[in-house]
Amino acid sequence: MLLIGVNRSPYTRRVAITLKAYGVPFEQQSLSAFTNRAEVRANNPLGRIPALVLDSGETLVDSGAIVDHLDEAYGGDRPLTPTKGADRRAVLKVAALMMGACDKALQAAYTRNHTPAEKVHQPWIDDCNAQVVNALAAVDTMVDPAQPYLLLGRLTQADVTAFVAERLARGIGLDTEAQAPRLRALTKKLLGEPPFGATEPPAT
Ligand SMILES: N[C@@H](CCC(=O)N[C@@H](CS)C(=O)NCC(=O)O)C(=O)O
């Protein structure tokens, strides 16, 4: 199995953490959607990371679709996203908030990095960042510091997505220690667990 993408990407890292949590062996080709455009587009016509090439040769794209497959193939009766009911809805809600926060954080970053300086509209960046902070703050209220994980007393996709979103928020300069302190404490704790620690991208 081959994971395509750099772990600096929250979506790629989400998949890498999920693979490791399930104990699935995989190789990784650390390609960036911007500096390795042709290779990424050869695997995903949309030109985005992550993509996952299965041993059969089939290629899956989009982190949500990929983790859905991994749940089905390796999750047994305790997949990282529960299969039904209130537990499933609760995990999917956190995942939606956290993946949406990543989308907004990247919109802000792309605006800053891919727009001529004189055309950058700072209020738009500020608004994207405010949405990121609001989503993180909402998830922060769900954290019970006495519990090892966000929901259900076990590792779920809620933890995985909250972890990568909080990491990205810090990466773009947001003060998660101040804005989402319980979530920040949880991500520090999670970093000590192999799927999270082993996927930390190299410092640039
Ligand atoms: N919804 C997608 C988002 C993937 C995504 O936006 N990846 C970024 C890297 S962090 C990317 O490839 N950006 C390049 C682009 O959008 O052109 C997922 O969950 O996989």
For 49-85, the pLDDT digits (tens) are 999 999 999 999 999 999 999 999 999 999 999 999 9
Ligand 1 centroid vs 177 CA: distance in angstroms? Answer: 26
Q: Are residues 93 and 175 in the same domain?
A: yes
Query: Is the pLDDT score of 31 beyond 80?
Result: yes
Residue that is last in its domain, among 45, 74, 103: 74
> Residue 27 belongs to what domain range?
2-74
- Structure confidence at residue 203 as a pLDDT band (50, 70, 90): confident
Query: Is the pLDDT score of 204 beyond 80?
Result: no
If one counts the domains in the chain, the total is: 2
Query: Is the pLDDT score of 202 beyond 90?
Result: no
Q: For atom 19 of ligand 1, which residue has the closest CA?
A: 63
136 vs 59: CA distance, rounded Å: 32
Q: Are residues 105 and 186 in the same domain?
A: yes
Mean per-residue pLDDT over the chain, rounded = 97
Residue that is last in its domain, among 24, 50, 74: 74
Check if 47 has its Cβ closer than 6 Å to any atom of ligand 1.
yes
Q: Look-up: residue for tokens 């076990």?
A: 154
Mean pLDDT to the nearest integer, 109-136: 95
Cis peptide before 50 (omega within 30 of 0): yes
> Which CATH number goes with the domain that contains 133?
1.20.1050.10
Q: Are residues 96 and 156 in the same domain?
A: yes
